Amino acid sequence: MDLKSKYKVEATFSMFSMTDVIFLLLIFFMLTSSFITPSGLPVNLPTSKSSNIVLQKVSVTITKDLQYFVNEQKVGYSRLEQMLKSELAGKEGVVVLHIDQSVPVQHLVKVAEIATGLEARVSIATKPEL
């Protein structure tokens, strides 16, 4: 009696579907990580329970020794309005404030006043509360 099967079963394993899944995961993580642009300046941000992620257009950072940075470029307070005006030209008006928690609130209010005077929305960057 001949008991041979018509169909041969291959003993090899195809890795093509596995590589497709890994490639798609890689693309997903690359795209989602570009939405969060952390400030490269040493700032100890305050904490909050709800920390929303805002797509940054213009970043203003105030360090604990009261140095002002616009998109990581150091500027004096006297040139801050001029620099913000040039950075916001032609862009959606969103200014994200990265302010050290030890900085007095008056400095935050001054920068927010300049940004709202330029008709920009102001958002304060915080780190999530654990």
**Number of domains observed in the structure of the chain:** 1
Per-residue pLDDT band for 68 (boundaries 50, 70, 90) equals very high
Q: Mean pLDDT lowest for which of 25-29, 41-45, 78-82, 113-117?
A: 41-45
The beta-strand segments (E) located in 1-130 are 47-48, 58-62, 68-70, 73-75, 94-99, 121-124, 127-128
CATH number at residue 64: 3.30.420
Residue whose token pair is 């102001």:
122
Residue 19 included in any domain: no
Q: How far is CA 95 from CA 2, 45, 52, 125, in A?
A: 79, 16, 14, 10
- Residues 68-86 have a mean pLDDT of 90
**Quick one: pLDDT at residue 46?**
63
When pLDDT is averaged across residues 65-84 and rounded to a whole number, the result is: 90
- Domain assignment of residue 29, yes or no: no
- What is the predicted pLDDT for the residue at 122? 86
Q: Say how far apart CA 18 and CA 14 lie, in whole Å.
A: 8
Cβ-contact 45, 98 below 8 angstroms: yes
Question: What is the domain extent for residue 67?
Answer: 47-128
